[in-house]
Amino acid sequence: MKNEIDFLNSFEIVYQPAKNNSPKINFLHELFSQVTELPCIIRDRICQECNWSTQTFYRRIKTIKDKESRSIKSLSNAEKKKVAEVFHEEYDNLLIRFANCERDINKFI
């Protein structure tokens, strides 16, 4: 459990206002950066949780077709559950970071 918490915290983007009580941050840039980093964070979490390499992750994303052009399942039910869990956790973490950043910015408005 401790390793999982350390892993999650390694991706945490923390906003801290400057010491002189005025934020030295571009609010739009901060929010946009967090959103654009989310796919990489999710990919890395899924790779760790499912014990996959990055190459395996991208192979699993591709739609697999059989000879009759029917889609074939590429994830087990356990993998689907883990992927959904990671998405929910990281989305919730993103919303928390947004709220914290917005709260800190509003202190100076």
Question: What pLDDT sits at residue 79?
Answer: 92
Over residues 39-58, the pLDDT tens digits come to: 999 999 999 999 999 999 99
* CA dihedral for 100, 37, 71, 47, sign (positive or negative): negative
How far lies 37's CA from each of 11, 88, 98, in Å? 10, 16, 13
* Residue 74: pLDDT band with limits 50, 70, 90: confident
pTM: 0.66
Domain boundaries defined on the chain: 45-109
CA distance 23 to 26: 8
